[in-house]
Structure 1
């Protein structure tokens, strides 16, 4: 374990603070959504904007926090630059870089890490369900959301209405449609529930891996200033008793939000 920080030692907390600042605008965009059932109208543009903002913030955080952590390990600038020559890192990419450089945290990665999201599952009668994802599921969903970013960034879709989302360039990455809402004729839609879930997944992943590195370097991180991407609060008559999902998720049925684009 590295020696404790001095007044001149770069602190990983500054990386978290910048991450929090980068998430301010996506969080404010979320508050602009009417959050009503039915066609959201022009507010449909908010979900892709939030998603792009969150994933851009995560990319900046990954580069920032890893560069700082590697510097604290006394790695050279050349080593740091080479290792951080990455594009569009998702949670699995960050995990790989952390494990390659902090191998002692391997047993702690993913332990007791969960995140609650909302999603419309296949054959769920178009109803939203609340899912509790474990670490491996979190990484899988994060990979799907990065494909959503790729499609949006390169103008393959607009994200503001149901569309056909292209397949990923890499065969080992999940299709964007795996995290989107299924519609007719092979189309899928991106809406506010999805954008919020994306934010929760990436913040949880970044926080967990950041905390592991900080502990190895003798530092402690505070995440209190990171915006809260709160999920919809369902009405009492919109939820059912929890039941076990066949893939290992914890699932609660409920038509929390029914945006029909």
Structure 2
């Protein structure tokens, strides 16, 4: 049975799978600063070195043999530019020896294997921008597996990005984890000061939106039939601290995942340092 525990003061978790330990992250958004410049005209110095150093340090600290990325490893929705490619190539060359990577394709990762296809063993260069199938290969000496955006089950851990409905195999896991939301809370004091903090959301999946979807792929799931408890759900904060996010405790804030917030039951929010804030709607 899988276990998933956040690393204190970091937007990452350690997953204890059947035969290995994995570090779980979401929304790395390599090249985000370039995107800010072109999309919004905001000039922010690159933090690529800082992101890479922090991630590699966490892999070593946790003795993880696998890195699981819950989507949006890169930021460009289509073909990435030179700075973004360079950041990812250096990242993969810098990962600790023996660490493999599983990337659940996010909505920003649509063409990622297309540009990996030239000169990287195992990639066919087709792009597969519809998100279909699984692609495997090697980048910078690191084994890389890119799965469909609807997710993959790794032992008892269901991994998806959250921009689409999860695959049945994900919903058969004891724990379902996703990114995409970049969950945050806006905290205000009595004199009008405010700050925004990244948070974890943790609770149970509510069966109702999955029943209402009436998807034959979900037929027979015990927890949809009322014969078992729903899986635990964990919404992972964005690794990239520039990327903004959903203010989960503000009214009229739209969630991004098609099954949220309706799919959240008894869900509480936690700061990165582990502080329990209580039910996410009432923080």
Smaller-chain TM-score range? under 0.3
Structure in which a larger fraction of residues adopt strand = 2
TM-score (norm 1): 0.26
Higher percent of residues as helix: 1
Normalization by structure 2: what TM-score?
A: 0.25
RCO higher in 1 or 2 (8 Å CA, sep ≥ 6)?
1
